[in-house]
Amino acid sequence: MEWIRHWMAENHLKLNEEKTQIIWLGTRQQLNKVTARALTLPNATDEFSTTVKDLGVVLDSQLTMADHTAALSRSCFFYIRQLRSIRQSLTTDAMKALVYAFVSTCIDYCNIILAGVSGQHCYRGCNQSRMQLHVWSLEPVDPIA
């Protein structure tokens, strides 16, 4: 840990031990062999987590991305619920623009990390979100310039 703190100081970064999350990565069999449950740092003791969040991406210990896609689905549904409450007040074009601005950008953020992930996890909720809006059945929305 001292080496990490030294490297960060050299690069003008500061390690915030109170916000530090630590995770073991591996297969289920490998993770079952791990006996260490916490890491003691000079200013804190951190327990190993089963999931960590970094730049809005939720990583689980087996890198299945199931927790990330669940969080992505919740986020999409949140925006859809918000947009449904004002749908009657907007034109179809305005609604499409808002859907693109909120839901599509939510889906597109860091989507490259889902490359190669099992299809059962990828976008399972966001496809449902698109159907629920009823505006996706119209012609595709062009990106806003």
For the chain, the average pLDDT equals 79
Residue 11, pLDDT score: 93
pLDDT over 90, % of the chain: 12
Question: How many helices and strands, by DSSP H and E, does the chain display?
Answer: 6, 5
pLDDT over 70, % of the chain: 79
Instruction: Identify the CA nearest to 67 among candidates 51, 49, 78.
Output: 51
Q: Could you state, in order of their start, the residue ranges of all structural domains in the chain? A: 2-49, 63-133
Residue 121, pLDDT score: 56
Listed in order, strand segments (DSSP E) in the chain are 22-23, 38-40, 45-49, 51-54, 57-60
pLDDT digits (tens, 9 = 90+) for 55-92: 888 999 988 888 888 888 888 888 888 888 888 898 98
φ, ψ dihedrals at 54, nearest 5°: -140, 120
Listed in order, strand segments (DSSP E) in 1-68 are 22-23, 38-40, 45-49, 51-54, 57-60
Residue 139, pLDDT score: 46
Residue 107, pLDDT score: 81
